[in-house]
Amino acid sequence: MPSIKSIRAFILTMEQGSLTLAAQEMNLSQPAASRLLQQLEEEFGSALFFRDKKTLIPSPQAELLYPELSRILSTYSEVPNILGALQHNETLPFKVMAQTRCTLGLVVPALARLGKKWPDLKIDLATNKRTELRRRMISDRFDVGVFALPLHIDFAEVVSVTPMTCRVVVSKNSPLAKLKSVTLEDLQEQDYISVKEALTGKKAIENILAKSGDKLSIKHEVSNAYVGLSLVRQGLGYMVAERSTIDPAYLSDIRLLPLENAPAIDYAICVSKDMREHPAKADFIQILTDILQEYSA
């Protein structure tokens, strides 16, 4: 059985893309970290990395091992917390992993409702962009995950999927705010705020534009939906987003308008496949489901 130290050296090298950085994080010399990787290679009888000039390239075997060894390391890291909880007859913190885009609009309101039902509950909320979420869910313990599809998650069980229709988001002072719904034609003379992070929604919008032969000229481009909403509130344009991405605190300053042939984004709720069953899990899933249905009504 490989040592925890050698597993950690491997995981850090995979995540950092550098043996030097992995060694620094472990407070080891590079030769010492290299020996740990060699021990792991000898244990599994296979090369884990190939060197291309100064870059380490994971082998196919390393890619296969990474999720399994990540789980082992994560479980090992949780042992002190588990023992402490058992000694004090406590329940482990309820851990939620969420995609950044839906944290303030969906997950935080759901946790607020859960907190009222479970006033003594300890919560551990981790948020990540789509590019990082899958890796974090593989390597860390979690009870419930919340994210927009598509996302390949063979390591977890999807318990529900709810489609969320996109809306046009405008300032309450925008000329469009008086309309009950908008068409692509209505948007032609307005300033469009594009969100780089929301690739799924962006592609869906581009698809309906391609079908109609219309095109929206991007006036502003921002890194994430929260920055985009701040620009909308200041009257600098409109964006297209689903309700679950919008912080409730913004609702008094904006209007959400139905869009003709608007795309829908599927939101998934998943649970870990491990044997732990947190007592608050079922309630949280029901609360999330209720909120998603409220938003999609």
Percent of the chain with pLDDT over 90: 26
Residue 267: its H or E element: strand 264-272
The amino acid present at 48, given as its one-letter code, is L
Residue 58: pLDDT band (50, 70, 90) is: confident
Residue 241: pLDDT band (50, 70, 90) is: confident
User: Where is mean pLDDT largest: 46-55, 152-161, 249-258, 259-268?
Assistant: 249-258
The amino acid present at 63, given as its one-letter code, is E
Same domain, 64 and 132: no
Tens-digit pLDDT profile for residues 82-133: 455 444 445 678 999 999 889 999 999 999 999 999 998 989 999 988 777 8
Burial degree of 63 (CB within 10 A; 0-12, 13-18, 19+): exposed
Same domain, 167 and 239: yes
Same domain, 135 and 279: yes
> 66, 9 in Cβ contact below 8 A?
no
Q: Which of 64, 83, 102 represents a domain boundary (last residue)?
A: 83
Percent of the chain with pLDDT over 70: 84
How many helices (H) and strands (E) the chain has is answered by: 10, 11
Q: Find the domain containing 240 and state its range.
A: 163-265
Same domain, 258 and 182: yes
For residue 246, give the nearest of 267, 227, 220, 226 by alpha carbon: 226
Same domain, 142 and 280: yes
- pLDDT of 71 > 70? The answer is no
Q: Which stretch of 58-72, 162-176, 200-214 has the lowest confidence by average pLDDT?
A: 200-214
Per-residue pLDDT at 12: 82
> 191, 281 in Cβ contact below 8 A?
no
Residue 293 to residues 95, 137, 151, Cα–Cα distance (Å): 23, 25, 21
| CATH number, domain containing residue 14 | 1.10.10.10
Same domain, 95 and 54: no
Same domain, 158 and 277: yes
Same domain, 206 and 119: no
Same domain, 63 and 40: yes
pTM above 0.95, yes or no: no
Tens-digit pLDDT profile for residues 194-229: 887 655 555 666 666 556 555 667 788 888 888 888
Same domain, 71 and 91: no
| CATH number, domain containing residue 196 | 3.40.190.10
Mean of the per-residue pLDDT values of the chain: 82
Q: Are strands 123-128 and 94-99 parallel, antiparallel or unpaired?
A: parallel
Q: Return d(Cα 235, Cα 214) in angstroms, integer.
A: 24
Locus of tokens 């992995």: 22
Residue 19: pLDDT band (50, 70, 90) is: confident
Q: Which of 83, 108, 123 represents a domain boundary (last residue)?
A: 83
Q: Which of 83, 118, 142 represents a domain boundary (last residue)?
A: 83
Same domain, 173 and 146: no
Same domain, 181 and 91: no
Q: What tokens does 89 get?
A: 């007859």
For the chain, the domain total comes to 3
Q: Long-range pairs for 207-215 at CB < 8 Å and ≥24 separation?
A: 207/263, 208/184, 208/261, 208/262, 208/263, 209/184, 211/261, 212/184, 212/261, 214/184, 214/185, 214/188
